[in-house]
Each structure stands twice: as C-alpha cells, then as structure tokens.
Amino acid sequence: MAARFAHWIGGAALALGLCGAAPGAQAQGVVKNTFGDWQIRCETPAGAQAEQCAVYQNIVAEDRPNMTLLVIALRTADKKSQLLRVVAPLGVLLPSGLGLRIDQTDIGRAAFMRCINTGCIAEAVIDEKLGDQMRTGQQATFIVFQTPEEGIGIPVSLSGFNQAFESLPK
C-alpha cells in the first residue's frame, strides 16, 4: 500500500467547525460555492484574522443510512500543507483503519487519529501524487470496518473536486 496515504498527521487542525458524521449531521460554515458534488464552506474561527475555507462532501451509504462520512480537503492556515480529513461514524473498528481506493487503484489504509462526540477522524497529507489522483479520478471509495472481516466501501464522487480544491486560497 502506498506510504503517502499511511502518513497520517494529528496536529494541523483547521478550526472550521466539524459536525460529525452522525446520521443527519451537516458540516458547519457558510457555503460559498458548489463545484459538482463538492461544496466550499468557510468560516472565521475565534481568534483568527482571516476566513478559512475547505472543500466538503457529506455522504450517506445507500444501503446503510447510519454509515455517513464527511470528507474534507483543505489547505492549512499557513498554506504550507494540504490535508484530507475524513470523519467516520462512531462504532467503526479503529484498529482496521480507513482504506482508500481511487477508481481502480488502491491507495492504502491508515489509522484513525482520534474520536470526538460526533465521529472518528483520520487525516492524511495530500501529496502531489494523491492530489493528482483525486483531481483526475472519477470516484474515491473509502473503506471502513465494523468487524475485522467486514469492510464497507463508501463511494464518493470526485466530480468537481479539482475545480473546488483549486478555488481554495493559496
């Protein structure tokens, strides 16, 4: 599996209010624009001097209404890093981590970093290769586990991701 996806970080946090991935929950912030299946949401966190924006998509698995993911792509406030953040519902099997496949390519699997009251969060650096795959791909599939044997693939459309991500402040 690709090492770049397994390089998870826990530090660089965007202060955008994350709602969690609980059924019915929605991302916070003001919707500034929509590109395909992705929204740009922005807010000014307490103590921040500037508005911070991220690219969002909230997905509910068609066959499992309690399996909801919030997928977020962002540039850190210092504009030095790009991150992919996924909030999965409470109850996922943490040791099995989160898998990612883009179109027909397995990207890898990585650990969840922490859980909050609304879900469990994983973050990855979007390096050049992963960024290219997300910008040119048609569909990402995030895989969460409820048991060691039961991986649930949740398809996420990448339609509009390139335009949405490129519209974030650089």
CB 90 within 8 A of CB 119: yes
Q: Residue 84 domain-assigned?
A: yes
Q: How many structural domains compose the chain?
A: 1
Q: Residue 34 domain-assigned?
A: no
Residue 88: Cβ within 10 Å count = 26
* Full residue range of the structural domain in which residue 65 is found: 57-159
Residue 48: Cβ within 10 Å count = 11
Q: Residue 74 domain-assigned?
A: yes
Percent of the chain with pLDDT over 70: 84
CATH number at residue 96: 2.60.40.1880
Give the chain's radius of gyration (CA, Å). Answer: 15
Full-model pTM = 0.83
Q: Residue 44 domain-assigned?
A: no
Q: Residue 8 domain-assigned?
A: no
CA separation for the pair 166, 131 (Å, rounded): 11
Q: Residue 24 domain-assigned?
A: no
109 — pLDDT class (breaks 50, 70, 90)? confident
Q: Residue 111 domain-assigned?
A: yes
CB 100 within 8 A of CB 5: yes
Over the chain, what is the mean pLDDT?
A: 84
Q: State the pLDDT at residue 1.
A: 42
> 58 — phi, psi (to 5°)?
-105, 125
Q: Residue 30 domain-assigned?
A: no
